Amino acid sequence: MMTCDDAGRWLDDLVDGDLGEALASEVRAHLDACAACRAEECRRRELVLEAASLPREIQPSGDLWAGIAARLSEPVGIVEARPVRRWTVWSGMAAAAVLLVAGTALVTAHLVRSRPRAVTARASSPAAIVPAAITSELNAPQVDLERAAGALRAALESRRGQLSPATLKVVDENLAIIDAAIDRLQAALREDPGNRALVTLLTATWERKIDLLQTASELARTS
Amino acid sequence: MATQPSEEQLVRAAQRGDVSSFEALYRQHVGRIHALCLRLAGGRAAAEDLTQEVFVRAWRKLGQFRGEAAFGTWLYRLALNLAVSERRSHADARHEVLTDDPVVLEPRPQSPVPELGLDLERAIAGLPAGARQVFVLHDVEGHRHDEIARLAGIAVGTSRAHLHRARTLLREVLR
Ligand SMILES: [Zn+2]
C-alpha cells in the first residue's frame, strides 16, 4: 500500500491524467482508503477547474494603442533594443511577500542544517546556476543592494503623503516581513559564512525589497 | 453598403503598411494577448508593457506571417515566446534555485494569510515567477509539460515540480 507521501507525489499527475494505468490504480487504491488524500485530490481538481475557467480575455485598464502606434515608425534597431520593463508584482505583492518569507524561513532552516550542495543539485534550470556569478556574489556581498534599498527607502519616505493609508499599510507590512527575512538570513550567514546558497537567497531577498520599494515609489509618484 | 473587412483582408492591408488595419487587428486581439501577459508577468504595469511590445513586434514581423495558422494563433505564439523568453533571460530565474527545495513543498499547518481572502487571480500573481509561469501555461492556458519545457528551456521534470509547487502554494493561500 502506498504511503500518503507517495500518493501526494503522484496526485497532480493523476488529476491531469498523466499517470500510467498501473501507477494510477495504485494511487486510486490509496485514495479509496485515505480520506485526507481524497480531500486533497478533490481540492486540486477544484483548483484545476477554476484555473481552466478563468476568462480568456482581459482588456487592459487603459488604452495601449497610442503607445503602440507611436512606436510603429521607430527604426528597427530601437525597437529591438528597448527592454521590456522588469516584472513587478504589485497586485499579488502581499501574497508574494508572504510566500517568499514562508519559503525563506523554511529554506533557511534547511540550509543551516544541511550542506548547500544538496540544495543546489536541484537547480531548476541549467542557466540558473552560474558558478562565476555565485562566486562574485560571495566576493562582493550585499553592499550595493543595501545602498540601493536605502536610497529607495529615503525616496519613498519623502513621498509617503502621496500614498493612500491602505497602500502604505501593505507596503509597511511587507517591508517588515522582508526585513525580518533579511535579519534571519544574515544571522544564518554569520553562523555559516561560506554558505553560497544563503548568499543567493539573501541577494534574492534584497532584490525583492528593492522591487517592492521601486513599485511603491512609482505608485507614490503617479498617484 | 460596405461589409466589414475580413481578418485576412485586415492582415493583408496591414502587411502593406496600413496602420488603421493593424489597429483593427489590435482591437480584436488585445484582450486575449493582455490576459496571457497579465498572468505571466504577474503585474499590471509589466503586463501592459509586454502587451505593447507584442504588438510592436507583431507589426515588425507581419511580413513573416503566411496565413498557415489563424492570425490570432500566430500572435499568441509570438506573445508566448516573448513573455517566456523575456522571463528566461531575466536574472530572477536565479531566485527559483533555492525555493525549488521540497522542504518548501511540505504542507504547512496554517494558512499564511486567511484574512486577505485572495482570489485566484491575485494568488496566481503572488506565486514565485517559475511556478506562476508553469501554472499559467499548464492550468490556465492548457499547454502540456513537454511544450512548456521546450518553451521555457527547462526539463519536463522541472515543469512538473513547478506545477506541483504552484498548486500547493495556491491551495494554501486560497484555503
Ligand atoms: Zn493518504
> What would the pLDDT profile of B17-41 be if each residue is shown by its tens digit?
999 999 999 999 999 999 999 999 9
Q: Residue A4 corresponds to which cell in the numbers above?
A: 500518503
Query: Mean pLDDT over residues B64-89, rounded?
Result: 88
Which of A152, A159, A137 minimizes the C-alpha distance to A210?
Answer: A152
User: Over chain B, what is the mean pLDDT?
Assistant: 83
DSSP B141: T
Whether the pLDDT of residue B163 is over 70: the answer is yes
Whether the pLDDT of residue A221 is over 70: the answer is no
C-alpha B175/C-alpha B170 separation (Å) is 8
B53 and A CB contact within 8 Å: yes
Which of B38, B168, B162 minimizes the C-alpha distance to B112?
Answer: B168
Output the pLDDT for position A148. 67
**Confidence class of residue A100 from pLDDT cuts 50, 70 and 90?**
low
- For A159, phi then psi, to 5°, come to -115, 15
Whether the pLDDT of residue A12 is over 70: the answer is yes
Alpha-helix runs per DSSP H in chain B: 7-15, 19-41, 44-61, 71-89, 93-99, 102-105, 120-125, 129-135, 145-152, 156-174
Determine whether the interchain pair A47/B140 forms a contact, defined as Cβ–Cβ distance below 8 Å.
Answer: no
Output the pLDDT for position B104. 34
Asked whether the beta carbons of B105 and B168 are under 8 A apart, the reply is yes
Which of B139, B108, B142, B146 minimizes the C-alpha distance to B124?
Answer: B139
Q: How far is CA A52 from the centre of its chain?
A: 22
Output the pLDDT for position B97. 32
Vertex B161: Cα angle to B155 and B166 (nearest 5): 130
Which of chain A's residues have a Cβ under 8 Å away from the Cβ of B100?
Answer: 122-124
- Reported pTM: 0.58
Q: How far is CA A114 from the centre of its chain?
A: 23
Whether the pLDDT of residue B149 is over 70: the answer is yes
User: Over chain A, what is the mean pLDDT?
Assistant: 70
C-alpha B34/C-alpha B56 separation (Å) is 14
The answer to whether the complex's ipTM is over 0.95 is: no
Determine whether the interchain pair A95/B123 forms a contact, defined as Cβ–Cβ distance below 8 Å.
Answer: yes
Output the pLDDT for position A131. 38
- Restricting to B residues 98-157, those with a Cβ less than 8 Å away from any Cβ of A are 98-104, 106, 108, 112-113, 116, 118, 120-130, 135, 138-140, 142, 145, 152-155
Which of B132, B123, B36, B43 minimizes the C-alpha distance to A87?
Answer: B43
Residue type, A43: R
Output the pLDDT for position B78. 96
Query: Beta-carbon neighbour count of residue A165 at 10 Å?
Result: 6
Burial of B87 (0-12, 13-18, 19+ CB in 10 A): buried
Output the pLDDT for position B12. 96
What domains can be seen in chain B, in order of their start residue?
A: 1-90 (1.10.1740.10), 92-175 (1.10.10.10)
Output the pLDDT for position B38. 94
pLDDT above 90 covers what percent of chain B?
A: 71
Which of B23, B39, B129 is closest, CB to CB, to A65? B23
Nearest-Cα distance to chain A for B71, in Å, is: 16
Output the pLDDT for position A139. 43
Whether the pLDDT of residue B143 is over 80: the answer is yes
C-alpha A219/C-alpha A86 separation (Å) is 15
